[in-house]
Amino acid sequence: MQRVAILGATGSVGQQALDVIDRFPDHFEVFGLASGRRSPGRSARYLVQSDEPDCEARVQEMVTHPDCDIVLVAIPGSGVLAPTLAALGAGKKLALATKEVLVMAGDLVMASARDAQAIRPVDSEHSAIWQCLWGESPASVARLLLTASGGPFWHRPNRDLADVTIEDALQHPRWSMGPKITVDSATLMNKGLELIEAHHLFQLPLERIDVIVHPQSVIHSMVEFVDGSTKAQLSHPDMRLPIALALSYPERLPGVVRPTRFEDVGSLDLHSLDHRRFRSVAVARKAAASGGAYPAVLNAANEVAVASFLRGQIRFVDIVALVERALSDFGASGRGGGDATLEQILEADAWARSHVADRVRKVEA
């Protein structure tokens, strides 16, 4: 019986996690729930809402409690970094869905994990790689291949991205997601962030992690081995599968999602990523290689730039350009790379948000 604390209980991942827990009551028990202002609408030993005056202290107490076994992290933003590090420091298992945790502070987070299986990925791409690596020697891995749907503009190579409207960017060809992640999928910045996550999770050099376009989104990711063979994880796209795996590892639970009928899928296409048209993956790779607080700048600058685009303040092509400018100016400011503390990471996050907001105001003026 695993007693689970969920950070982000009212979000999509949190709600699907509760569905998994309810379907397998002999495996899981809800220990604690942290949510925004909206109540999760169910009981637990710990119920914490973001508008409570002692919210942060209660979340910290919940994730470090001796009776808590595993913490599902599904709250977006930098605010979840402190409870994540606290949970790992207390020896808890971590089911990780929040990108910012590893993008901003991957070195700190991985150093806080007490064993190799303490952090279990919930993102479908990283869960796929994780599954492909079960039973494999790290020395046998040649390359990781993150699959990308390509977003709404990949299959329209003649479309001038400078003319993309907000409505255009939100028309994802396959998924219905929140506006921020949908725009990230259109710029392919989501794959840049996932590349950084994979680098930390699987301890592989950045140059051995690539992105490949797979429009059908049935292959969730692949691992290439030194002998020339490749493993791919394929399944019906449903987040309940990676959530259940992260909570139940090393056991697979029966009937979590329906089996994939490959005769109905038809062809599975794989294409090289056009790095000249979609620069975001290269920008993210460079930020990760620079180390220190650069990835935190990347993440924060992208968040503000996307929000500015969705408000109609900048063009679609300005998003990645603003991120690149923020990274360049961060380096010129003398902050540089090297090891970064949690405080320095949060300072870089705040700096990048202010920097991009200032540049957007200048564009408007």
| Residue 250 lies inside a defined structural domain of this protein | no
| Residue 127 lies inside a defined structural domain of this protein | no
Pair (66, 153) in one structural domain = no
| Residue 311 lies inside a defined structural domain of this protein | yes
| Residue 237 lies inside a defined structural domain of this protein | no
* Nearest-angstrom CA–CA distance, 332 and 154: 33
Q: Which two tokens stand for residue 12?
A: 């999509």
Pair (118, 14) in one structural domain = yes
- Residue 237, classed as helix, strand or coil, is coil
| Residue 360 lies inside a defined structural domain of this protein | yes
Pair (281, 359) in one structural domain = yes
Number of domains observed in the structure of the chain: 2
Q: How confident is the model at residue 229, as a pLDDT?
A: 98
Pair (113, 190) in one structural domain = no
| Residue 70 lies inside a defined structural domain of this protein | yes
Pair (105, 173) in one structural domain = no
Report whether 208 contacts 110 (CB < 8 A): no
Pair (302, 206) in one structural domain = yes
Pair (54, 114) in one structural domain = yes
User: CATH no. for residue 188?
Assistant: 1.10.1740.10
| Residue 254 lies inside a defined structural domain of this protein | no
Decide which of 122, 147, 179 is a domain's last residue.
122
Cβ-Cβ contacts under 8 Å for 27 (sequence gap 6 or more): 1, 2, 247, 248, 251, 253
Pair (148, 35) in one structural domain = no
Containing domain of residue 157, as a range? 138-213+273-364
Below-50 pLDDT ranges, the chain = none
Q: How confident is the model at residue 62, as a pLDDT?
A: 98
Pair (91, 8) in one structural domain = yes
Three-state secondary structure string covering 281-330: HHHHHHHHHHCCCHHHHHHHHHHHHHHHHHCCCCCCCHHHHHHHHHHHHH
* Nearest-angstrom CA–CA distance, 335 and 348: 9
Q: How confident is the model at residue 16, as a pLDDT?
A: 95
* Nearest-angstrom CA–CA distance, 358 and 173: 33
Report whether 100 contacts 349 (CB < 8 A): no
Q: Calculate the CA 123 to chain-centre distance.
A: 6
Pair (304, 160) in one structural domain = yes
| Residue 303 lies inside a defined structural domain of this protein | yes
pLDDT in tens, 137-179: 999 999 999 999 998 898 888 789 999 999 999 988 776 678 9
* Nearest-angstrom CA–CA distance, 192 and 204: 15
The burial of 180, by beta-carbon neighbours within 10 Å (0-12 exposed, 13-18 middle, 19 or more buried), is given as middle
C-beta pairs of 134-141 under 8 Å, 24+ apart in sequence? 134/250, 136/223, 136/225, 138/203, 139/226, 140/225, 140/226, 140/227, 141/202, 141/204, 141/208, 141/223, 141/224, 141/225, 141/226
Pair (146, 111) in one structural domain = no
Q: How confident is the model at residue 102, as a pLDDT?
A: 97
The model carries a pTM of 0.94
* Nearest-angstrom CA–CA distance, 221 and 212: 9
List 145's β-bridge partners, or say none. Answer: 210, 222
